[in-house]
Chains A and B, each alone.
Chain A
Amino acid sequence: MSTEVEPKPVQRKPLEWFNLKGKRVGFWAYVVMRLSAAGLVLYLFLHLVILSQLAVGPAAWDNFVAIAKAPAFLLLDVVLIIGILAHGLNGIRLALIGFGIGVPRQKMMLWIGLVLTIVFSLLSALAIFAETK
């Protein structure tokens, strides 16, 4: 007698990319890379929409500049800088290790990127909010 069972198929969901359960630091970097990439693409389109105000006329642009100087909007600038730094620095790390450079120290490179992201984000935030005083 033979018995055959139908295996429970694998659920392949893109959301698994963001399932952090039991994952280690390399996977966190993988998730940050995807989220920051999506955020930066969104920002690019937002940037083009905002620039299109120039075509509407000086009054429309002046209105936008007034909004852009609000602290909440400036906070978004800081988020943007964090995204650029995190994505860019990890991108450099990935390019290097993809060419076989520094592979044994890839984790250390990740930590260095994280420290640089934090330091330069803080400095940028200080500079941005100092301007408003």
Chain B
Amino acid sequence: MKLNVKMYRYKPGSEPHYDTFPVEVPDTGNVLDAIERAWADHDMSIMFRHACHHASCGSCGLLVNDQEKLPCVTPVKDYGEGATLKIDPMRNMPVITDLAVDASPIYQRMQLIGMPIIRNAETLRPDGTEPLPNGVETFKRFENCLECGLCLSACPVMATDPQFLGPMALAAAERALAEPRGLDAERLYQLIDDEHGLWRCHSSFECTEACPYEVDPGAAIMRLKRKVAARKIKRLLGG
């Protein structure tokens, strides 16, 4: 399949611009394959992050045609023969060079929450390909979170509030508070019940749309809002 890759280019000290590279990838290929062809066939100075190539590491997140994607699992056939793929770095994070962003906003936020989730089983999809426990028909599983940062990139609030905790950390907090396992819940409540925390979310659900693993951080934030509001009302009534 022949495609054009229109890629955001930025090197420190120079003005950002786009370069377009014609590439050829197998019909079964993914967008990451197209980016790698542009790198290998045209310009080895293109910088981009990637590692596992199968949506396990979460390091390759970027924008394809202005939408947050993991290019390693985004099929090129979704765009069609001869399409131009516009590739940009993730939003709301400083660009180091080309498609590589400074990903520290992702990890700093998880650090703040206390890195509460330890995944001891591989990611699961509720698509029927793996057996589920009796009585469980479908599920949302925060442990599926790859920490890819696509939700932070998609969130419109992140565009104006650099201190906003963001969907990933708030969803992690919701998961941790649902099952604290000895965690300092009071510290978490203080962190999220803040002008840069829970209440800054304006429910656009772009995070949920962007999440490649159906973690649904938007719904987790809504559950957290209910939990914190109920707690406040209870305290107000002297409970």
Binding site for B on A (CB under 8 A): 5-10, 12-14, 16-17, 19, 21-24, 26-27, 29-30, 33, 94, 97-100, 103-104, 106-107
Contact = CB atoms under 8 A, between A and B. Distances in A.
A97 B222 contact: yes
Contacts of B93: 10
B223 interface: yes
A100 B156 contact: no
Contact of A22 (B67, B161, B204, B205): B67
Contacts, number: 87
Given A5-B12, A8-B10, A103-B219, A22 B65 contact: yes
A24 B209 contact: yes
A16 B96 contact: no
Interface size class of B (residues with CB under 8 A): 35 or more
Contact of B66 (A9, A16, A22, A98): A22
Interface in B67-93: 67-68, 91-93
A30 B223 contact: no
A94 B68 CA distance: 24
Contacts of B209: 24, 26
A94 B94 CA distance: 31
Contacts of A103: 218-219, 222-223
Report which residue of B10, B66, B159 has the largest number of chain A beta carbons within 10 angstroms of its beta carbon.
B159
Contacts of A17: 156, 159-160
Nearest to B207: A26
B150 to A, nearest CB: 12
